[in-house]
Structure 1
Amino acid sequence: MPPEAVLLESRAMRDSVMGLGRVGVLDKVKALVLLPDGLHVTTRMVADYFEVGDRAVNSLMRRHRAELSEHGMHVLKGSDLRVFESSNLKLSAESYPQGRAHLTLYTRRTLLNIAMLLRDSEVARAVRTYLLDVEEGARGRVEVPRQTRPAPTVESLDHRLTHVESSLADIGPALRDLGPVIGRISGRLDRLDRRLDATNRVVCAMSERLSDLAEDVRELRYGPRPLPRPHRHPGSRPKRRDQG
C-alpha cells in the first residue's frame, strides 16, 4: 500500500495529522482562494481547488459528514444565510450561488481533511504526499537544546497562524448564534421604551387632572376666589358719587 493511502483508509491517522494543524500545506501545493470573510470557501470553490466536479465533493461530504463537521464544515440557513449573503455580495454567481435555502461552508481545516479523503484528485494526492514528507522530516529532526534553539521557522509560524484561524472559525458560529438573541433583546428594549413613554404621558395627564380637581375642591370649600381690586394710582382721590 502506498504511504499516502494510509490517510485514505485510517480515520485515526487523519485525526493525528489534523491535530498538527498543517493547513499551510494547502497554499504550498496550490494557491487557495477564500471568501471575503477570509475563513471559508463554498462547495464550488472546494471543487475548483481540487480540480474535481461538484458531485465528487457532495458525495464525499455525504459519506463523511460527521468527520468533516468536526473540522469546520457547517451549513447556513435562514437569517444566518441572509447575514452571510449581505457580507459576500461581491462574489460571482459561479463561486457563490445566490437565492438558495442553505449554503455549505468549509474552512481550511475542512479542506485539509478533504485532501486526505479524495482519491481521484492530483491536487489532493500532492497534499497527502506533502503532509507525509513533513511528518517524516519532523520525526528525523534532532531536538535542539533550548539555549541554542534557532528563531521560529516559517513552519512554526504557520502552525501558530493555523491555531489562530481555527479559533476564529470556532468563534464564528457562536457569534452567529448570538446575533438573533441580541436582535430580540433590542426589539424588547424598543418596546419597553415606547411603553415608558406612554406611561409618562398618562402620568402627566393624571397630574393635570388632579390639579384641576384640587382647584374644584377648594372652590367648593371656600367659595370662588374674589376678583382682584382695581389698581389705583398713588395720590388720586376717589370720585364722589355726586360728581358727574
Structure 2
Amino acid sequence: MPDLIYADLNLTESTSSRLRVADVQDSTYAEVKVQSPDTNAAADYTSPGKNCCSRTRVAVLAAVITLLLVLAVCLILLYHPTASSPPDSKTFCTTCEDELGCPQGWKRNRKKCYFFFPDTQNNDWNASRKKCKDKESDLVIIENKEELDYLHSQSRDHYYLLGLRYFETQKKWKWINNMEHRTDMFTIGGDHTDYFCAVIGHGKIETAHCNGSSTTQNMCEKAVNISRSWKKS
C-alpha cells in the first residue's frame, strides 16, 4: 500500500489554482485553506468618485438655500415698508407737501396751499401782493370759519397781511376777488382811520396801514394741485 502524506497549507485564492499535486506511485493529499478577502473592509471602502459627487451635491444644495434666503429678504423689504417710512397722514408738514398737492415749503389745509414768509419786511400791501404773484399765488381770502381757525393757529406769533381792503367811497370791506366781507364770520378791530388794510395774528383780525409795517409779515395762498395729488396717491 502506498504511503499517504498529509499537509496543511494556507494559500490564498490566487495561488490555489496553481497547485497541482500528483504522484503516480505515491498519492499526496493536501488540505488547502483559501482565505477570502475581508468583506467588512470592502464595505468600508468608498471610491473617490463617490466622495466627489457627494461634495458636489452638498455645495449645490447650500448655494440654492442661500439664493432662496436672499430672495426672501428682498421680497420682505420690497413689500413691507420699514419703521422709518413716513405714515400715510393728512397732517400738515413742510417735508411732504409734494405728496399733498402743494409745492415744497408750503402748507396744506383742505383745498388750499399756504406759504408763510419767514422774514419781516416793511412791504406795502401792493408789494406784498406782488410777492405772492411771483409765486403764482395771491394774498389770502378767508372763505369760512374752518379756514379762519386754521389761520389763527398759524399766526399766533406774527401778523400777516390779508387780501382784504376797505373802500372808503363804498364804506365796505372787500376781498381781492371783489366779494364783500361777511361780518358774521369775524369782526375787524382796531382804528379805521387811514387804516384800510387788514392783518391776522395773535388770535385776532385788525386794521393795518396799507403802507406796511415792520411787525407785519406776508403770506400767500393758492389752490391745491389736484393732478399732483392724484399722481402721488
Q: TM-score range by the shorter chain?
A: under 0.3
Structure number, greater radius of gyration = 2
**TM-score in terms of structure 1 length:** 0.23
**TM-score in terms of structure 2 length:** 0.24
Q: Which has the higher contact order (CA 8 A, sep 6+)?
A: 1
Bigger proportion of residues as strand: 2
Bigger proportion of residues as helix: 1
